[in-house]
Structure 1
Amino acid sequence: MVGLVTTQGDEAMRADVARQTFGVDGTGITIGVLSTSFDLLGTASDDVANGDLPANVNVLAEAPPEFADLFGPATDEGRAMLQLIHDVAPGANLLFHTAVSSEAATSPLEFDRASAQAFADGIRALAAAGANIIVDDIGFASNPFFQDGIVAQAVNEVVAQGVLYFSSAANGFRNSYESAFNPSGVFDSRFGGELHDFDLGLGVDTTQSITLPINAPFGIAFQWDSPFFSLNPNSGGSPNDLDIFLLDSSGNIVASSTESNVGGDPVEFLNFINDGSYGSDQFNLAITLREGAAPSLMKYIDPQTIATIDEYDTASSTVFGHANAAGAFAVGAAAFYETPAFGVDPANLEEFSSVGGTPILFDTNGDRLPCPETRRQPRIVGPDRGNTTFFGRDSSQDADTFPNFGGTSAAAPHIAAVAALILQANPNLNPSEVYSILEQTALDMDDPGTPGFDQGYDFATGYGFVQADRAVELALAQNPCSTSEDALLAGANNGILVGDTTDDPLHNGGSHDQYIYNSLSDGTEAITNFNSADDQSVLTSLFDSLGYSCDDLICDRYLHQVQLGADTQVQIDPSHYGCESFSPVLI
């Protein structure tokens, strides 16, 4: 245990096994965190004294108290992220930079835009300070849906320099509506333009019913397929102007966003709190086209999954902005107690975890792409609801009384910490190689929003649930400087071992395991509990490396089998490459 508490996500990812088996703890790797605040609560010194944080966390920029948190008072969420990282990679160096602007703003959208710039500056500052890995849990409504904004461009910039970048996918589930603007022929002077028809059939319905719980802060970002002037003034910005309105059950306008968009950015941001005075939780949304051509795609996202969309719900993607950048590695969430290490196989996705598939329609200059680019985000799922000393709420799923940190904001730092273990094992890896290792070694999961089990990648769970021990093992196998033996301790879960030129002891568990051989060893590979019905020995990479290109290994005398007691031993025939006898490969 590290400090007073250790996140249960450590065990869920088998990071504890990775540290014990391979002797890694993140030493020599620097991780930077971008979030709201670090120590506005004034209790960070307690974490250091108790061992929940190291004494040398380098805070490059702290949030000012008046702008500590986008959604309320200071919470020091960034410090909670750092606690999780320290639990998994206790040897890593830690940096922090706020992602919140200190500039005064006259509106939520203006503050959002200023914070996006501060966020991009923070990414570059962390990279300049030596971060090998950066992780964030912040999103801004002003970030473009359909174009790489200033934060996404900063992410791609530092990744091109060799920095790994992890981002929380967000907690928007599928709370998104998208459609082409559908002219209704209805004009109402209250809305200043033609209303959108939500009914794509023969009828006309100019409002969409939603449910808003009392006292929950509701905010949606609304955008459409036009370029952002703020990214490139030469693009001309948006050629059209749309507005969004919230109506109570009597049809009265209770909130609206009516920015003048022509020649500017195609974005509106609607904020509202149902304070209970409306006598109902039933409300309606309306969208109008005030000026210009009707967009072929418009979309709103409820990033905090506050509203229930009661009709015309398209259940569309909710990963957007820098989490959807080409260089980013977005992370979804599964509760630690809903993972294989805690008896649930496959892991279950948190119901709020955001879903990918948002298309990129414009390049950074504002020119429309010949074909939309749909990126694979999120890439993986990490654990959430692990313990911290101060952040979150206690869960009934554990026996202690420490608070549990939920959301993709907790999942992302877990993955960043695993990446530190991978980089320590193989410092030669670039970002795309680390990303690939995490993806290859993840345990497949199912998208709960689609029928049947989704084999392989899906836009809800990515490539599946992270497995730290498998990832570190694969990283070591790709390290040309590594001379250590490879050991697979599969436990009860699926395991992969990639063999190199030294002895590879394979200790199989009770599930589906793969033994992948890249090169021929001079020693004997000892396998414990090989189950021919479930387990696979994969020799493709080995024979490719030996130049074999045919398809009958036994007849071509590259393989033979011998009986050794109750076991069958498969052996390589090395006479084709200068040796005199068969070499044992596996039992």
Structure 2
Amino acid sequence: MRRAALSGVAVCAAIPLLLMLVGPAAHAEDAPAATPGSTLVDRIVEAAEAGATAPAELSEEASLPADGGGSLTFDAAERITATVMFAAAPDDAVLAAVGAIAEIDELQSPFPAALVRVAPAELQALATLPGVVSVTPALRPFAGGVAATTLAAGPVAAAPRAAVAEADACGPIPIEADGPLRSDEARERFGVDGAGVTVGIISDSFASLASPTSWADDVASGALPGPGNPCGYETPVHIVSDANVAGDEGRAMAQLVHGIAPGATLMFADAGSNDFGMANNIDALVAAGADIIVDDITWPQETAYQQGFISVAIEAAKAQGVAYFTSAGNSTGVGTVGASTGRPLSSWSTTAYRAAVCPDWLVTGPDDPLAGATDIDCLDFDTDPATETPYDTLVTRDSATVPSVGLNVIGSIGEPAFGVTTSYEWRFYAVEPGVPTPQLIGQASQIADVLPGSTGQVTVPTGSEIRAVMVRTGHDPAAPDPAVLLNFIRGGDVIAERAHLGDGVTDRVGPTTFGHAGDGSGLSVASLDWEDPAEVRSYSSLGPATLLFEPVSREAPAPAGPLAAPVTPATPNIAAVDGTQTTFFGDDTGEPGEPEYRFFGTSAAAPNTAAVAALALSYRPQLTGAELSTRIQDTARGTAAGGPVNPYLAVGHSDADVFGAGIVDATALLEGLTSLPVTPQGLRSGTVTSDSVELAWDPVADASGLRLQLVPLATAVADADGASAAAARAADDAPGVVAVELDAGATSYRFAKLSASTVYAISLTAVNPVGESPAATIEVTTAAAPVTPPPTVTPVDPPVTQVAQAPLAQTGGSGSLPLVLAGVALLLVGAGVVTAVAIRRRRAAAAAATDDAVSERGAEGPQ
């Protein structure tokens, strides 16, 4: 029943793509024998088949935490929540086959995936169904909040009572971020409170807890908006999704946003049950009208070397004008011994895997799954080509009170999702005094054979030596040696020293931004101390990350192609403060009987940043998300302006790696927005004809360009005159709409080829890098079409030449012959008439001589 994974035998690079086309059944039949325990599913199934049934037992056997980030999710029947990925949208037959093994909870389009609950022992059976590409456990995400106590720094001291701000007049807690972010000054000077802006929040949960406060309590006290809010902010938080039972970190984030931007409308969506679910909830927030979205989530299965499913959803939200903020993470730990002193040590990476002979103590005995394996090798941590060191040595901090610490591992290889050609695992060994060989204490397994990432939790003793080994159990020799990342997303602060500190070129130690927090999709936010904003929090994650592949597809499980060259996104992008108060969430740092719940971590810094952005968007609603994101970075305070100070500059980490542009400055941001171009003045029409309009206006200040638009208010078709206008035509479905981009110095323009007697609405907008002005508008009606004069009637007695001209002008065509014959007849008749008239006139003249009473006309008589 076991589905074969990639083995130590060379595997063709095309196999992952072939699997998607022919289905896992062929994969199980044709692939070489698997190395046991090479993926999380393998390890879980092995444990279940060996008799482990309880969630705690299964988690321990799979080297996963029992709860929190990176842990398995079980239902009441002890079934595991898992993600099933299909080769294509599943039909009824495929769904029926899955439903016979597992409970299907949700289909997760647009990607062909489903969220299911399945007995642990049935995971492999589910994975071998026709049409199924892969099955992965739906591990819980990591949220960005951290405890106030760390092994490295000890408890965070409570602020002196005299230094703690008084509660807001309308709320139960002081808005302590106002001072360092200058958001109180911005609200007062510019008269904004976030009104008209909708902020979407994504975190673990919102309304799971009732103590110390509930959602209703927070509204009644003024900590959140809703009916009965004492400040009059009565629009309740709109819940898009709140299906997960957790610690309500999302409600705490909402309190921070409401404190700074109380007029903003708030929405909440949980992070879903997997990364597909979070991507879909981003879509849902956008559809519900979010202008700004902020999250504090990291999923273990996110990709490190390409933008994953969440990042693609963020990019789509940004394309619709949304500004997106995310917590940078809380993964940094700083060394204290020898050359490691002052260095961030929580990650290690290399640009290409270096193969080395595995250490002789790697295999622990005959029961080790690697016993007898011959086609394996281990990662060489030494950059010196003359030396091989197939492990890294970590020394943990000594502690009299904390005997051990959990290291949460997130690792990856530099291969694209669904194009993985390498199988591997991380192993950790403790060197114990008096014991001749290092002892295996934990592993981090590859999440799935179609995904490049690995995860697990290893409990390491304090005050000890730990050896980290990457074992490559299978690969395609024709494929390039992949990049490698080992990241401790939690627990890295236990490391006091590590042997291999990198060369800063191929190997690097320290960067820990991961997934969408590191790949340039969201604006990544670092943490500073609210009481001393120059101080970077010791846990705040550092950048940068590296991208090697095009983004994943949200529609199909196909490997993405490589980028033309590696891309290094700048992360984190900006910083804000944390450690400020909430009504319930965080660590109680108050005095006995007077609790002060303080929210630490980039989970707090990110919503504080989003709230400042809401003030700016309330002030200038016409800003796009991209413009807002740029402006908030451009106006941040760096070190020279009194902002944060880089504690790692001497060990090779730039300011950009630590806190980006600096600390968010609300007042500077809004001051900068006052340089938006003013509304154009004096828009007026000049000469107006039936098919053209001349326009003029006064010179416009602070503009880098002008946008002139003409819209017919009747069903007429208009066109612009001139090549420049034609090239600038707007892509608009409305017939006759013309948009023209002009230089900032232009003061006139002429539209031509218009329709007569038509009313046109004409608008003129000034634009610059900050944004665009309100439009000046006028209406102009084109003149009526000129009246064509009627044809001239030929008189009866004009000169012969005049009578003959009109018929003779008719030419050409088969119908002209009758006209010519008629003209000849008229000429003959006319000649006769002229002759008769001449004779009669002579006779009349003779009669007149004898009878003057007879008139000339009477003499002519009737004709």
Q: Would you say same fold, with TM above 0.5?
A: yes
1:4 to 142, 152, 172: 172
| Larger of the two Rg values belongs to structure | 2
- Say which SS state the counterpart of residue 674 (structure 2) adopts: helix
1:164-243 matches, cutoff 5 A:
164-173=323-332, 174=344, 175-179=346-350, 180-186=352-358, 188-189=362-363, 190=368, 191=370, 192=373, 193-201=376-384, 202-210=386-394, 211=396, 214-229=403-418, 237-243=419-425
Equivalent runs, 1:339-354 vs 2, <5 Å: 339=533, 347-354=534-541
| Map of 1:363 onto structure 2 | 550
Aligned pairs (5 A) from 1:491-506: none
Distance 1:311 1:279, change over 3 A: closer
Contact 1:381 1:464 in 2 (8 A): yes
Q: Which moved more, 1:43-52 or 1:16-25?
A: 43-52
- 5+ residue gaps, structure 2, are 1-167, 227-235, 333-343, 433-437, 502-507, 552-558, 640-644, 682-698, 704-742, 747-863
Q: How far, CA to CA, are the matches of 1:433 and 1:482 in structure 2?
A: 21
2:815 matched to which residue of 1?
none
TM-aligned CA distance change 1:400 to 1:325, over 3 Å: farther
SS at match of 2:647: coil
Q: Which has the higher contact order (CA 8 A, sep 6+)?
A: 1
CA drift of 1:452 comes to 9.5
SS at match of 1:366: coil
Identity of aligned residues (%): 29
Give 5+ residue unaligned stretches, structure 1. 69-74, 102-114, 230-236, 340-346, 484-500, 503-516, 520-543, 548-587
Shift of 1:400: 7.2
The match for 1:58 among 223, 238, 244 is 238
Deviations 1:413-467 (A, max 9, x none): 0000001001011111112211121111111134321229999x61211011111
| CA deviation profile, 1:166-225 (whole Å, cap 9, x unmatched) | 000001224111123222223655555212222333443322223276454321111011
Residue in 2 that maps onto 1:311: 499
What is the CA–CA distance in structure 1 between the aligned matches of 2:240 and 2:181, rounded to whole Å? 30
* Amino acid aligned to 1:9: A
Aligned partner of 2:468 in structure 1 is 285
From the superposition, tell whether residues 140 and 479 of structure 1 become closer, same or farther in structure 2 (CA, over 3 Å).
Answer: farther
Q: Distance in 1 between matches of 2:652 and 2:548?
A: 30
Report the CA distance between 1:242 and its aligned residue.
1.7
The within-5 A match list for 1:365-404 is 365-395=559-589, 401-404=595-598
The one-letter amino acid paired with 1:244 is W
Query: Could you say what secondary structure the match of 1:334 adopts?
Result: strand
Partner Cα separation in structure 1 for residue 448 and residue 629 of structure 2: 38
CA distance in 2 between partners of 1:63 and 1:481 (Å)? 47
Distance apart, 1:154 and its partner CA: 0.5
Deviations 1:370-393 (A, max 9, x none): 111111221110111111111112
**Deviation sequence 1:499-529 (CA, Å, 0-9, x none):** xx99xxxxxxxxxxxxxx959xxxxxxxxxx
State whether residues 36 and 63 of structure 1, in contact with CA within 8 Å, keep that contact through their aligned partners in structure 2.
no
Q: Deviations over 1:108-136 (max 9, x none)?
A: xxxxxxx2111111111111111111000
Read off the aligned partner of 1:389 and give its amino acid letter: T
- Matches of 1:423 and 1:387, distance apart in 2: 25
Partner Cα separation in structure 1 for residue 621 and residue 223 of structure 2: 26
Contact 1:7 1:388 in 2 (8 A): no
Does 2:439 correspond to 1:439? Answer: no
Q: 1:21 to 1:156 in 2, by over 3 A?
A: same
Q: 1:335 to 1:238 in 2, by over 3 A?
A: same
Q: CA RMSD in A?
A: 2.9
| Alignment CA distance shift 1:129-1:3 (3 Å) | same
> Which of 26, 36, 46 is equivalent to 2:217?
46
Residue 271 of structure 2, aligned match among 84, 99, 113: 99
- Between the aligned partners of 1:270 and 1:161, the Cα distance in structure 2 is 37
- Please say if residues 269 and 285 of structure 2, whose CA atoms lie closer than 8 Å, have aligned partners that are also in contact: yes
SS of structure 1 residue aligned to 2:576: strand
Would the alpha carbon gap of residues 290 and 143 (structure 1) be closer, same or farther in structure 2, given more than 3 Å must change?
same
Q: Give the structure-2-normalised TM-score.
A: 0.49
How far does residue 404 in structure 1 lie from its aligned partner after superposition? Answer: 1.2
2:458 match: 272
Using the size of structure 1 for normalisation, the TM-score is 0.72
Q: Output the CA distance in 2 between the equivalents of 1:452 and 1:479.
A: 44
- Residue 661 of structure 2 is matched in structure 1 by 463
- CA change 1:217–1:545 in 2 (3 A) is same
Match for 1:360: what amino acid?
L
Correspondence 1:105-144 to 2 at 5 A: 115-144=274-303
- Which residue is equivalent to 2:524? 330
Give, in whole Å, the separation in 1 of the partners of 2:582 and 2:408.
28
Instruction: Give the drift of 1:273.
Output: 3.1
Q: 1:196 to 1:471 in 2, by over 3 A?
A: same
Aligned to 1:511: none
Counterpart Cα distance in 1 of 2:590 and 2:575 = 22
**Cα pair 2:489 2:512 within 8 Å, conserved:** yes
